[in-house]
């Protein structure tokens, strides 16, 4: 099976692209970020006609996350749509259990600029997230955390490390916060495998950044140690970024040697 993370930057605008991409990706569990839609506004009929179902935690205009999964799979259980104990009106989390897999989909706060109020909110949000992920580690052995983390883990994930030094998405406190998340028992699946240099998942729409490959790797798939031996590959599929009216993010795909739930 494949587990995928993709910030689509509006599901309404890019639903046809999502379904076109899924048509060539069997047995895929797809985590979407930035739906920018309320749950009731999602075109479930078209998604279901394509052989998938969706559980979502949506919000009008901003944020929103969802899991899209094959229609023949059993219904997910233990669905969570907020970080427990953290008061937050923004829709940034959806967790569910499929069989013995606990999957958590995140749209992490951007933070705007280092030192801003939104930056402080980002760091507090990440702190609360880390506490919750530590609790999840005690409940579920097989965990996958996907999402737009809005953090480039290291300088190797940045097209120009010096230009981004101490800026939002690359600042030391953000990277330290991501390290603490990994310390809850998670591994960056992308770095388990040999990867090409300058492999990025997000490129600003401006200044021909995609054509020039001036990007960042901020879309991550983290897995628990119990899944390490089942991970077969992890890649960034840049092709959808070449399509007309694309998202500014590309899908990240984890190939997992794991049976589909209910199979």
Active site positions, annotated: 107, 148
- Cα–chain center distance at 146: 4
CB 159 within 8 A of CB 191: no
Identify each DSSP E strand in the chain by its residue range.
Answer: 2-7, 28-33, 52-57, 65-70, 77-80, 93-98, 101-107, 143-148, 186-188, 219-224, 231-236, 252-256
Query: What residues are paired with 107 via a beta bridge?
Result: 148
Lay out the sheet containing 93-98: strands in order across: 77-80, 93-98, 101-107, 143-148, 219-224, 186-188
CB 3 within 8 A of CB 256: yes
CB 5 within 8 A of CB 146: yes
Rg (CA), the chain: 17
Instruction: Report H helices in 93-185.
Output: 117-139, 161-164, 172-182
Give the Cα separation of 85 and 64 in Å (integer): 19
Give the Cα separation of 199 and 176 in Å (integer): 22
């Amino acid at each position: 099976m494949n587990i995928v993370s993709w910030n689509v930057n509006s599901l309404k605008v890019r639903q046809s692209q999502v379904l076109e991409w899924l048509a060539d990706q069997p047995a895929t569990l797809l985590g979407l970020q930035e739906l920018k839609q309320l749950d009731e506004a999602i075109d479930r009929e078209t998604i279901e006609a394509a052989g998938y179902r969706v559980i979502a935690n949506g919000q009008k205009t901003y944020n929103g996350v969802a899991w899209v999964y094959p229609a023949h799979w059993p219904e997910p259980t233990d669905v969570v749509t907020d970080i427990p104990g953290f008061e937050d009106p923004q829709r940034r989390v959806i967790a569910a259990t499929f069989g013995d897999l606990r999957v958590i989909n995140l749209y992490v706060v951007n933070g705007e600029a280092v030192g801003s109020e939104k930056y402080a909110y980002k760091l507090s949000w990440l702190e609360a997230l880390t506490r919750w992920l530590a609790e999840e580690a005690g409940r579920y052995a097989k965990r996958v955390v996907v999402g737009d983390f809005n953090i480039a883990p290291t300088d190797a994930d940045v097209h120009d490390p010096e230009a981004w030094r101490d800026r939002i998405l690359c600042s030391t406190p953000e990277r330290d916060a991501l390290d603490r998340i990994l310390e809850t028992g998670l591994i960056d699946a992308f770095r388990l495998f040999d990867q090409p240099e300058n492999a990025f998942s997000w490129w600003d729409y401006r200044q021909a950044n995609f054509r020039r490959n001036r990007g960042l790797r901020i879309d991550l798939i983290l897995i628990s140690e119990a899944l390490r031996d089942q991970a077969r590959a992890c890649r960034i599929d840049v092709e959808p970024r070449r399509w007309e009216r694309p998202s500014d993010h590309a899908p990240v795909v984890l190939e997992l040697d794991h049976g589909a739930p209910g199979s």
